[in-house]
Structure 1
C-alpha cells in the first residue's frame, strides 16, 4: 500500500483524500489550521455560524460525486435545498430585480425589460449551453500532461467553438442591450476573481449554470460540506494532523520523499499539495532547479485574481432580504476597472449572503446573519496595508452603503457580532500569495494547458490540486481538480498493494 501525504485539508485536499482512500492508498493530511476547510472555513460566535469563504452551491452533482465514489449515499452526509430566487439585484437608482431559475417567475421579470430583451436573454442561454457542453466534456475532465494532449486539431477546433477571445461583457452585449440586464448576466465572473470586461467570454457559462441548474444551499451552511468530507475520510480510516504546517516538500534525486513538519521529516511515496500553487512554489520547494519554469521571477510575473473584503454581521433582528443579493455600483464598469488598476473602489458593488433567511440553525432565534463580500484589489501592488485604521474605515463605508438599501436603514444599531476578513487575513490565514482570494487569475494565458497542471513535471510523484491549478477556481471546479489529480496518480501508480 503506497502512502500519500496531502498538504492542506481544503476542498481539493479532502476530496482527493477520500478518492485515494477508496482506491486503497494510505492517506494522511497535514493541515496548518485548527480545523478542515481551507477557504471553506467557518466562524462561530454567540450562536451565529458564518461561512468564511464560498457560499453559493452550483453544480450539486460535483459535490455529491465525492461521496458516491467512496460508496456511500451523499444524502446521508449533506442535505441540499434549492434557493429561489437565485438572487435579488439592487441598483443604485433604487430599483431591484429578482432573478429566478423558475421559468414563469424569470419571464415575468424579463418581460419588464421588453419582448426584444427577453428574446435576447433566452438566445444567450441557448448559445452558452452549447459552449458549456464543450467545456465540461473537453476541459473539466482532462489534465494536460504533454503538449500534444492540448495542441492537436481536435482540441484546438473545440477551443475555436468556444469563442473565447471576446470578454464576457462583450459576448453578453450581443444578446441584450439593456445595461441592467448586461450587468445581471456578467457580474458572476467575479465569483472567480476576474473582471467581466476583460475576462474570457467562456465565463458567461456561470450565469447560465445558475439559471439552468439552479443555486442550492447546504443545510447548516457551506462549511457542512467540509465537515462531511472530513467525517467520510475519518470513518474510512484516514488521518488528519491539525496545527501542523508543512515547512518543505522533501526530495531526493528529483523524486519526492515526503514533507518536513516541525523540523521532522515525514516520509511518503507520493505528495499531493493542496496549498495554493504560487505560495507552494515560493515556500515549499527550496531548490530553484526543482521548480522548473515556476521560478520566483515567473511566480511574481503571473497575474493574480482580485481579493475580498468580507464583513460578517450577527444582527439582533430579522431583515427583509434574500439568501443571495447583489448591490451594484452606480458605474459598474468603472468599479470593475478599478479592481484591475489596483484602485480601491470608492463606490463598490458588493454581494450579500443571509442563510438565516431559510436556515434557523445558523443564527439565534429571531436574529439574522449577514455576510457582505466586497471585491477589492489583491496586495501585489503593495499599496494597501489593510492595517486596523484602513480596515475600520472601509468597514464603515460599506455599512453606510448597506444602510441605504431599503429595509436596512437601522442596521448599525442592531449589530451584535462583527468580524472582518481583509486581503491580509486571507493571505496569512490560508497562505494565498498577495492575498488573492481566488488564486491565479483565469486569463487566456493562465487557463487550461497554460495553467499549472495537477502533475508536477520536475519532481517525480508530486501532484497539485486547488484553485490555482487546472481547471480553476470555484468549489465545483476545485472538486474537479481533485478528481484529475487522483486520476493522474492512478496513471503513474497502477499497482499499490
Structure 2
C-alpha cells in the first residue's frame, strides 16, 4: 500500500486525502493549526460564531462531488442553502444594486440605473457562461504536469478564446455604462486578490457562478464543509494530525523520501502533497539547491495578491438594513486600487464588505448580528502599516458605515481584529497575501504553478497558490486533480 503524506489540512488537502484513501492509499495528513480547513475557519466567542472566509460559496457540486466519489451522500456531511438576493451593493449616493440569479429582477433594476446595461444583460450572461464553459473544459481539469499539456492545440485555441488580453474593467464596459453597475461587477477581481483594471476579462466567468448558478450558504457555517470532508476522510482511514507542524521535506536524488515534524519525528512517504502557500512554504521546507526552478529569487520577485483587514463584530441587536452579503463601495474604485497596489497603503475611502450569516442562520448568533467586515489591504512590505495604523483604521470603517446609516458602535458586544500580519502568521501566507501570486499579470493569471513539482518527482501542490487558482471550489478541484494524477499514474 502506497504511503501519501499531505502537508496542510486546507480544502485541497482534504479533497486529495478523501479520494486517495478511497482508492487504497495509506494517507497521513499533518496540519500545524488546531483546525482543518485553512482559512475556512470557525471562530466562536461570547455567543457569536463567525467564518473567517470564504464567506461566499459557489459551485456546491464541487464539494458534494468529493464525498459522492467515495460512495456516500453529501447531505450526510454538509447541506447547502441557495440565497435568492445574495448581495446588496450600496453606493455613496444612497442607491443600491442587488445581485440575484433572477435575470428579470436584474434587468428591472438595470432599467432604473443603466438602460444600456438592461438591453445587454442577457448578452453578458451568455458571454460569461461561454467563458466559464471554456475554462471548465480546458483549464480546470488540467494539472500542467507535463509539456504536452502546455502544447495542446485545443488549449491554445481555448486560451485565445477567453479574452486573455482584455482587462475585466474594459470587458464590463462593453455591456454596462453606469459607474455603480461597473463597480459592482468589477469587484469580481478581488475574489482572486487582484485589480479589475489589470486582471484578464476571463475572470468575468465568476459572474456565471454567482448570477446563473447562484450563491450558497452551508448550514451551521461554511466551515462545516471542511469538517465534513475531514469526517469522511477519517472514515476512510486517513490519519489527521492536528497541531503538528512540518518543518522539512527530506529530498534524496530529486525524490521526496520523508518529512520531518517540529517534534523531531520523521515520517516516510512514497508521495508528498503540499497544501499551502507555495511562496512561503517551499523556502521553509526545501533547500534551495533542491528546487532550482523555484528559487529564492523567483519568490522574492513574485507579486503577491492583495490581503485583507478584517473585523469580527458581535452586536446586541439586529440591523434591519443588512442581509447575508453586502458591499459599501468607495466613491473612486480606481483610486482605491491605486492606493492598494501602487501606494501600498490602506485605502482612505475603502469598499467595505460585510457578511451577516445570522441573517440566514439564526443559530450562528442568537444575541444579534455577527458581522464579518472585510476591507482590501495591501500585502505586507518593509515600510508597511503599523499596528497603530491598523487600530486607527477601525475608526475609518465605523465612520463610513455610520454615514451609510449603519451606526454599529453603540451595539458592539464583541470585537476582534485580523490584520495582514495575523494572516501571515496563522496561515503561513506570503506577505499576508490571501491568494499567493496576484493575477494582475497574464502569465500569473493563466499559468500558475503547476500541480506537480518540476524539480522533485513525487511532490505535488494543491491550494490557492497553484493551478487552477484561488477560491474554495478551485482549491478543491486542485486536490481532486492531484489525487487523480497520482491514481492514474499508478494504474
TM (normalized to structure 2)?
Answer: 0.97
Q: How many positions carry a matched residue from both structures? A: 487
Deviation at 1:346, TM superposition (A): 0.6
Alignment match, 1:42: 42
1:369 and 2:370 aligned: yes
Determine the C-alpha separation between the residues in 2 that align with 1:37 and 1:220.
15
Deviations 1:276-335 (A, max 9, x none): 11112210002x221131100001111110000010001000112110001110111111
Whether 1:94 aligns to 2:91 is no
What is the distance in 2 between the residues matched to 1:33 and 1:343? 30
Partner of 2:132: 132
Task: Give yes or no for the alignment of 1:309 onto 2:306.
Answer: no
Find the partner of 2:357 among 355, 358, 365: 355
Structure 1 stretches lacking a partner, 5+ long: none
Q: CA RMSD in A?
A: 1.3
- 1:52 Cα deviation after fit: 0.9
**Whole-angstrom distance in 1 between the partners of 2:121 and 2:138:** 26
Q: Is the 8 A contact 1:455 1:488 kept in 2?
A: no
Shift of residue 28, structure 1, vs aligned partner? 0.8
- Once the 2 structures are TM-superposed, how far is the Cα of residue 242 of structure 1 from its aligned partner? 1.1
Residues 276, 465 of structure 2: 8 Å contact kept: no
Q: Distance in 2 between matches of 1:114 and 1:248?
A: 56
Contact 2:114/2:177 (<8 A) preserved = no
- Residues 292 and 447 of structure 1: is their aligned pair in 2 closer, same or farther, counting only changes over 3 Å? farther
| TM-fit CA distance, 1:220 | 1.1
8 Å CA contact retained: 1:193, 1:441: yes
1:445 alignment partner, one of 443, 446, 457: 443
SS of 1:403 mapped into structure 2? helix
**Preserved contact between residue 80 and residue 218 of structure 1 (Cα < 8 Å):** yes
Deviations along 1:208-245, one digit per CA (max 9) or x if unpaired, are 22001010110111111111111111122211111111
The question of 1:477 aligning with 2:479 is answered: no
- What secondary structure does 1:211 align onto? helix
Q: Distance in 1 between matches of 2:115 and 2:274?
A: 51
Taking the TM superposition and a 5 Å limit, the aligned residue runs for 1:180-219 are 180-219=180-219
After superposition, the Cα gap between the structure-2 partners of 1:226 and 1:152, relative to the gap in structure 1 and judged at 3 Å, is closer
Task: Report the equivalent of 2:268.
Answer: 267
Question: Cα deviations across residues 241-262 of structure 1 (Å, max 9, x unaligned)?
Answer: 1111100011222211111002
Which residue in the other structure is 1:455 paired with?
452
Report the CA distance between 1:29 and its aligned residue: 0.7
Counterpart for residue 121 of structure 1: 121
Cα displacement string for residues 421-444 of structure 1 (whole angstroms, at most 9, x for unaligned residues): 100000010000100012111231
> Contact between 1:312 and 1:372, CA under 8 Å: does it hold in 2?
yes
Q: Using the TM superposition, give the Cα deviation of residue 160 of structure 1 relative to its aligned residue in structure 2, in angstroms.
A: 1.0
Q: CA deviation at 1:385?
A: 4.3
Deviation for aligned residue 1:112: 0.9
Structure 1 residue 445, shift from structure 2 partner: 1.2
Task: Tell me whether 58-67 or 150-159 shows the greater mean CA deviation.
Answer: 150-159
What is the SS of the residue equivalent to 2:292?
A: coil
Q: CA contact under 8 A between 1:40 and 1:52: conserved in structure 2?
A: yes
Contact 1:11 1:479 in 2 (8 A): yes
Which secondary structure does the structure 1 equivalent of 2:371 belong to?
strand
Deviation at 1:383, TM superposition (A): 2.3
CA distance in 2, matches of 1:225, 1:237: 19
Residue 399 of structure 1 corresponds to 398
Distance across 2 between alignment mates of 1:382 and 1:167:
30
Aligned match of 2:282: 281
Aligned equivalents of 2:174, 2:63: Cα separation in 1: 33
1:430 aligns with 2:427: yes
Distance across 2 between alignment mates of 1:343 and 1:412: 25
Deviation at 1:106, TM superposition (A): 1.9
Runs of 5+ consecutive residues of structure 2 not aligned to the other structure: none
Contact 1:447 1:470 in 2 (8 A): no
- State the SS of the aligned residue for 2:366: coil
Q: In structure 1, what is the Cα distance between the partners aligned to 2:377 and 2:141?
A: 31
1:70 is matched with 70
| Offset from partner CA, 1:76-100 (integer Å, 9 cap, x none) | 1111111121200110111112222
* 1:439-490 Cα distance to aligned partner (Å, 9 max, x none): 1112311134x31111112112111100000110000111111111112212
SS at match of 1:199: coil
Contact 1:195–1:337 (Cα < 8 Å) also in 2: no
Mapped to 1, the partners of 2:198 and 2:157 lie a distance apart of 23
| 2:317 is the alignment partner of 1:324 | no
The answer to whether the 8 A contact 1:386-1:422 is kept is no
Corresponding residue of 1:57: 57
The answer (yes or no) to whether the contact 2:464–2:475 under 8 Å persists in 1 is: yes
C-alpha contact 1:447 1:471 (8 A) present in aligned 2: no
- Does 2:309 align with 1:295? no
Question: Deviation of residue 168 (structure 1)?
Answer: 0.2
Q: What is the CA–CA distance in structure 2 between the aligned matches of 1:309 and 1:386, rounded to whole Å? A: 13
